[in-house]
């Protein structure tokens, strides 16, 4: 939390600084002894909160605030005043100050105002990040550059970084018995993002596939750039608690980039080599420098691609493709006299995880473990025939789930994973059976609920938007106007009684 204390009396500054430091909150406090010093500090780095004395030599506190408002639109201003200037304090609140403190300041009052300001700053940061996430979903799912980016209060150059996380786990072991995978990856990632994000460190989570998570970070100050570069290590530590023999989490990381377009290019290159995770892994995120020589290696590249295709065929219960991949992998393995031990270990772990079967404990290069794979395919085919009648009801189950959870974080990839479907299969058949797309159906449910909320007296548009799952009020307003035919504020005015 970045704070400025502006007062021409050094004793007053030191007193307030001591009170703030005694709260036990992690604060970065700077001091200004005049209105001009306040202006200079704000222009250098806009604070989250500023405690400003109304009367200072040269420019007054009010005059200084008026001058820097354009470069610090999110700063919370707290005025310091004596009883004689109380009317000035009231005027300051009209200009945007959130509170005022009467001198001499009381520690309890300072702590109360600080807690309120921190809570508000946290909400503002999450709002910025939600808007940023909307932009990044468009940029990476549609592979286009957004028309506009969320405002950044920092003046330093932008730094971009992305982390891709692949979650590999078994298909259902038995009919009606889903594999236990513990805490959702998205939940752990979201918790860490909410702890780390700010107006100068924007973070977004984008689902690129059924179990492919993309974290994008953008830092606008040197301090937050350092925090951004530490983020992959922090996420790795959090994700270690989720990793197990039946759940592999492979991380790939971009280099630091200076623009969104260059970040998109590097993410695309990493994704093109995502199949290599079947033959290489580790505790640290994989980078282009590590993957490039492996992509050029016939041993790693071919074995990795076949293994990834084999796992995908097993997951979608495509028996013919599965058996074909087994034969290709056996032929590829037999054609290479000696395989690196790390490749053997990783490949065995990957196939054990994604197929959910125990492999031979004998040395891997004797091919005994590869001979077990077609047997797994035969059991899979039997499972498929036993499950077929129940699968006819999956669409009805999906609709019931959407009707109960449409206000939450609902995505095609997330719902497909929940019901053991592929995202493409879910989207295609949902559209075919329902006559509208998955997203259109969820949006209509949300707009119906929004109309109910907006008819409640006193309900604000931003509150209704959040309750139906939209953190960007502007995005919600545009959708509401498109579907309902009027703006939410108009609807609220016409229907509240």
**Domains along the chain?**
2-105 (3.40.50.2300), 125-272 (3.30.70.1130), 277-385 (no CATH), 394-495 (1.10.10.60)
* pLDDT tens digit sequence for 161-170: 999 999 988 8
Taking residues 462-486, what's their average pLDDT?
A: 89
Query: CA 453 → CA 127, 205, 440, 448, 464, distances in Å?
Result: 21, 28, 20, 9, 6
- Work out the mean pLDDT of the chain and round it to a whole number: 81
Categorize the per-residue pLDDT at 458 as very low, low, confident or very high, splitting at 50, 70 and 90: confident
Contact 45, 73 (CB under 8 A): no
* pLDDT tens digit sequence for 104-116: 888 888 888 888 8
Residues 441, 429: Cα–Cα separation, whole Å: 13
* pLDDT tens digit sequence for 11-35: 999 999 999 888 877 788 999 999 9
Query: What is the structure's pLDDT at 24?
Result: 76
Categorize the per-residue pLDDT at 400 as very low, low, confident or very high, splitting at 50, 70 and 90: confident
* pLDDT tens digit sequence for 364-376: 445 566 777 777 6
> How many H helices and E strands in the chain?
21, 9
Dihedral, CA of residue 162, residue 475, residue 421 and residue 326, to nearest 10: -30
* pLDDT tens digit sequence for 220-229: 878 788 889 9
The share of the chain scoring above pLDDT 90, in percent, equals 20
φ, ψ dihedrals at 397, nearest 5°: -65, -40
Residues 464, 484: Cα–Cα separation, whole Å: 15
Categorize the per-residue pLDDT at 63 as very low, low, confident or very high, splitting at 50, 70 and 90: confident
Taking residues 71-97, what's their average pLDDT?
A: 72
Residue 378, pLDDT > 80, answer: no
Sequence-ordered alpha helix ranges (H) in 204-246:
222-239
Provide the whole-model pTM.
Answer: 0.59
Q: Give, as one character, the DSSP assignment of residue 257.
A: B
* Partner residues linked to 247 by β-bridges: 244
Residue 132, pLDDT > 80, answer: yes
Across the beta sheet with 212-219, the strand order is: 201-209, 212-219, 159-168, 248-253
Query: What is the structure's pLDDT at 254?
Result: 96
Residue 152, pLDDT > 50, answer: no
* pLDDT tens digit sequence for 191-207: 888 888 887 889 998 88
């Amino acid at each position: 939390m970045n704070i400025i204390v502006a007062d021409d009396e050094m004793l007053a500054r030191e007193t307030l600084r001591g009170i703030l430091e005694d709260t036990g909150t992690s604060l970065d406090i700077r001091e200004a002894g005049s209105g001009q010093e306040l202006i200079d500090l704000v222009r250098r780095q806009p604070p989250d909160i500023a405690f400003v004395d109304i009367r200072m030599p040269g420019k007054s506190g009010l005059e200084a605030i008026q001058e820097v408002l354009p470069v610090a639109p999110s700063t919370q201003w707290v005025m310091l005043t004596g009883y004689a200037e109380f009317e000035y304090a009231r005027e300051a609140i009209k200009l945007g100050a959130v509170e005022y403190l009467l001198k001499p300041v009381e520690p309890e009052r300072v702590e109360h105002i600080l807690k309120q300001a921190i809570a508000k700053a946290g909400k503002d940061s999450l709002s910025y990040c939600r808007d940023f996430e909307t932009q990044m979903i468009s940029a990476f799912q549609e592979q286009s550059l957004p028309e506009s980016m969320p405002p950044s209060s920092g003046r330093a150059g932008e730094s971009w970084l992305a982390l891709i996380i692949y979650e590999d786990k078994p298909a259902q072991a038995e009919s009606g018995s889903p594999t236990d995978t513990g805490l959702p990856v998205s939940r752990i990632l979201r918790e860490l993002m909410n702890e780390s994000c700010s107006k100068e460190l924007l973070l977004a989570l984008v689902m690129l596939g059924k179990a492919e998570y993309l974290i994008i970070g953008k830092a606008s100050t040197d301090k937050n750039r350092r925090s951004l570069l530490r983020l992959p290590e922090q996420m790795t530590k959090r994700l270690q608690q989720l990793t197990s023999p039946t759940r592999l989490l492979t991380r790939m990381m971009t280099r630091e980039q200076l623009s969104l377009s260059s970040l998109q290019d590097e993410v695309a290159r990493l994704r093109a080599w995502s199949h290599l995770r079947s033959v290489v892994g580790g505790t640290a995120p994989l980078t282009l420098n590590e993957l490039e020589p492996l992509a050029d290696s016939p041993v790693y590249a071919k074995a990795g691609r076949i293994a990834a295709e084999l796992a995908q065929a097993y997951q979608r219960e495509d028996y013919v493709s599965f058996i074909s991949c087994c034969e290709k992998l056996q032929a590829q393995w037999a054609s290479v006299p000696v395989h690196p031990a790390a490749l053997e270990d990783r490949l065995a772990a990957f196939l054990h995880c994604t197929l959910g079967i125990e492999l031979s404990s004998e040395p891997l290069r004797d091919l005994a473990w590869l001979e077990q794979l077609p047997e797994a395919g035969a059991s899979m085919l039997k499972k498929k025939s036993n499950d077929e009648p129940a699968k006819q009801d999956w669409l009805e189950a999906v609709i019931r789930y959407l009707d109960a959870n449409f206000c939450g974080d609902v995505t095609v990839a997330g719902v497909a994973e929940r019901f053991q479907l592929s995202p493409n299969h879910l989207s295609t058949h949902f559209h075919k059976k329902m006559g509208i797309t998955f997203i259109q159906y969820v949006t209509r449910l949300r707009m119906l609920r929004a109309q109910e909320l907006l008819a409640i007296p006193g309900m604000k548009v931003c509150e209704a938007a959040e309750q139906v799952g939209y953190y960007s009020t502007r995005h919600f307003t545009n959708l509401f106007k498109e579907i309902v035919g009027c703006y939410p504020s108009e609807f609220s005015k016409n229907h509240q009684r």
